[in-house]
Chain A
Amino acid sequence: MPELDVLYRTAWSLTRSDAEAQDLVQETLLRAYRAIERFDGRYPRAWLLTIMRNANINRARKKRPDLLDDPDATFERSIDFAETEGPETVLLDGEFDATVETGFNNLPDKFREVVELVDLNGLSYAETADLLDVPVGTVMSRLHRARKRIRDHIEEVGLDAMSGGF
C-alpha cells in the first residue's frame, strides 16, 4: 500500500508516539477494510485520512472522556516535539535550517501540527482540514501565522533569510 508511510507519518503527527501511531494506522486499516464496500474508489488517501480522523477522535475520547464536547481539544498536545524521540531523520543544512527548526519547535501545538501535516507530510489543505475537522480557512490561517512566526524568529536571531546571513 503506497500510502502507508503517509498514514504513519500523519498518525505520528497526531499521537507523537511510535506505538500509538502504529496502533492508529492499524485501526484505520481495519476500519477501512470493514467499510471497503461503501468506498467509491475515488480519493483513497482522503478517504483513509477521514477514517483516521474518526479513529483518532474515538481513541482520544476513550483516553480523555472530558474531551467529548471539545473536538478541537482532541488535537491539543502538551508534549514538546523537541523533547520527543521520534522516528525522524532530521536533515539540517546550516544555521538557517537550525533556526527554522527552533522556530518550528517553539510554535504552539495547533500551528506546529498544521505545518507538520502540510510541509512535512505533504497533505493538501483540504486533507488537513478534514483530518483536523476544521475549515480550510483555519488551516490557511494557522499555516500563515506559523510560518510568519518562524520568519519572525529568523529575524530575531539576526539572520538574513535572503542571503543566508552566515
Chain B
Amino acid sequence: MLFDRIFRRNQMTCGEVMEVLQAYLDGEVDADQARRIAAHLDRCAACDNEASVFGRIKVSLSTRQRSVDPQILDALTSYSQRLAQGEEV
C-alpha cells in the first residue's frame, strides 16, 4: 500500500503531461521527465493518442524542410573561404 502511494505520487497527471508534451516530442525535456511522460503515455490511451497525433504532425512538418539550392551553397562556401583567407569581400 505504501509503495503504491509513493509510486502514484511520482506519476504525472494528464494535465501535467499535456503541458510538456510538445517539449517531450521535441526532445527538450530531461531524461527523468521523459521517462515519467513515457510511463504516463503507456497507461493513458487518451494522452497516448494526443502524442501520436502531434508526433505525426511534427513528422509531416519536418518533410517540408527546404533543400538549399547547391549554387547558393557554393556561393556561400566560396564567400566563407575568401573571408577565412583574409580577402576583401
Contact = CB atoms under 8 A, between A and B. Distances in A.
Interface in A1-50: 1, 4-5, 7-9, 12, 18, 22, 25-26, 29-30, 33
B73 to A, nearest CB: 6
B63 interface: yes
B52 A162 contact: yes
B6 interface: no
Of the four ranges (under 10, 10 to 19, 20 to 34, 35 or more), the interface on chain B belongs to: 20 to 34
Interface stretch (A51-59, A60-68, A71-79, A86-94): A86-94
B63 A4 contact: no
Nearest to A103: B57
Interface stretch (B7-15, B33-41, B77-85): B77-85
B48 to A, nearest CB: 10
B75 interface: yes
Contact of B66 (A12, A115, A124): A12
8 contacts: A22-B76, A87-B67, A90-B64, A118-B26, A119-B61, A120-B61, A124-B28, A161-B56
